[in-house]
Amino acid sequence: MQNRRFIFGFVAFALYFLTGAACIVVGSGLSHFADKFGTDIKTIVILGSLYSLGRVSTVYLTGKLVEKVGPLKVTLMGIFLMGLYLTGIAYTHSFYFALVFAYIGGVGMGAQDTVCPLFLSVAFPDNYAGSLS
């Protein structure tokens, strides 16, 4: 049981780390993206907005998905979408495709946001379970 709790705790914190890394990509790369897409920073911040929109617009849906297919599959889907976002935004030369990848990254982050509290409640049942209600 202790080993299982450790694994769930590790996965939850690893997902938070991945989410932070994805946010840093957009936040620290604004001037690079402006040069890459030939636009100004005022336009590039739309990438961050679509990332946030993808996150917020899918949290409820991914919550329902967790109930249907389970947290592990939703976690894997979120990791896949975050990987797609990080790869796509690095290699695309179209600002419009970058917007699509930013939204996809937000959906992946929304999936992780939905699953992490569940994992933390398994890893730390005495300390965390009361804060879910």
Write out pLDDT tens, residues 29-42: 888 888 999 999 88
Query: pTM to 2 decimals?
Result: 0.83
With beta carbons less than 8 A apart as the criterion, state whether 66 and 114 touch.
Answer: yes
Banded pLDDT at 129 (limits 50, 70, 90): low
Quick one: tokens of 107?
């959906």
Banded pLDDT at 28 (limits 50, 70, 90): confident
- For the cut 70, the answer to whether the pLDDT of residue 132 exceeds it is no
- Please state, as a whole number, how many other Cβ atoms lie within 10 Å of the Cβ of residue 68: 8
Closest CA to 82 of 20, 31, 2: 20
State which amino acid sits at residue 32. H
Write out pLDDT tens, residues 62-119: 888 988 998 888 888 988 998 899 899 989 999 999 999 999 999 998 888 888 888 7
Q: Please return the burial class of 5, using the count of CB atoms within 10 Å of its CB with bins 0-12, 13-18 and 19+.
A: middle
Q: How far is 19 from 28, CA to CA, in rounded Å?
A: 14
How far, CA to CA in Å, does 10 sit from each of 62, 78, 123?
A: 21, 16, 9
Q: What is the structure's pLDDT at 70?
A: 87
Banded pLDDT at 50 (limits 50, 70, 90): very high
- For the cut 80, the answer to whether the pLDDT of residue 51 exceeds it is yes
